[in-house]
Amino acid sequence: MPASTSLSSKHHTLIQALLSRGPLKESEFRSIFHKVTGKSPDHQVFNDYISDINDELSYVQLELRKCLNQYDGKAYYGVVNTVSDEHSKLGTKYSVPQIALYKGILEAIVQDTAGEGSISNIDALNIRLENQVLSGVDSQSQDNSTEIPSALKNFSMSQKDKTLEEFVHDQWLCSISDGRIGLGVRSFLDLRSWFHDNEVPTCQVCNEAAVKVKRVCPGCGTQWRLVAKREAAEEQEADDQDGPSENTSQPDPSARKRLRTSKGVDRNTQESDSTITSSTLSGSRRLTRSSARRAAAA
């Protein structure tokens, strides 16, 4: 293993700024960078600092990562946990009902066939938490004997409302001006592997999960075929009782690329966070917008 390169106090200050304040807009983080280092935050100098930080953070399964918030179009930086295992689930500060509520909201948003990337506040409050228990059980074993934890059944509407406020404050969700609820910047930063595992289409402009999209190319206005091809493949697979179709489309390799903050940043493939992780959400069934349409039709 190569020798570790010690970070300076300036590197530590940048890390602490993100840990203490949460995800920061790129402009704010670059401003802090300039004040701390005295250097102009041009791409090369800034990226070198990020690369050095990530080389050290990798030893403790952390990463300083950049993402694009699809609701305000701005880039953000944050520190995320790159471990996704059973032990990481124990690090969450949220209760079981709160996590179930978040999972339900997350599923509702990514299943939205209109691609608006949000649900109404009323719909969020009316999420059925018990569905999160059933979603982790094989469909053949779902019967009346499935026990719903009392913590889920007794989670009141006022508790849900307070939890929504907490999620918005912690930037896992965001409150949109028209009173709707969308995903927060921490969801984009921390849940990349969850989006990938659930085949949420990837934006070909920013390489992030496309939960809020117009299904046309932002450059020329042409219909965006990535979503249509993937959904057609899923529908054909669902109808084929003998196994996957030979014509099932494979995702475009370019869709698997991830936005990199610097060289060597995207080394880890399992992303999570000590608060809400991809493994915390692992009980969810595989989600697609086409499956949502089929469920609605049923």
Q: What is the pLDDT along the chain (298 residues), one digit of tens a residue?
A: 444 458 999 999 999 999 999 899 999 999 999 999 999 888 889 999 999 999 999 999 999 999 989 888 899 999 998 886 655 665 678 999 999 999 999 999 988 877 788 999 999 999 999 887 766 544 444 454 467 888 888 999 999 999 999 999 999 999 987 889 999 999 999 998 888 888 888 877 777 788 877 655 555 655 554 443 344 445 555 555 554 444 444 445 444 444 344 333 333 333 334 457 666 676 555 555 555 555 555 5
Encoded tokens for 122: 């009323």
pTM of the model: 0.69
* C-alpha to C-alpha distances, 151 to 121, 137, 147, 241, nearest whole angstrom: 22, 18, 12, 38
- Between vectors from CA 271 to CA 269 and to CA 274, what angle results, nearest 5°? 155
Backbone angles phi, psi at 215, to 5 degrees: -80, 50
CB atoms within 10 A of CB 191: 26
Whole-number pLDDT of residue 185: 94
Q: How far apart are CA 275 and CA 80, in angstroms?
A: 10
How distant is the alpha carbon of residue 205 from its chain centre?
A: 17
* C-alpha to C-alpha distances, 99 to 106, 265, 280, nearest whole angstrom: 10, 29, 8
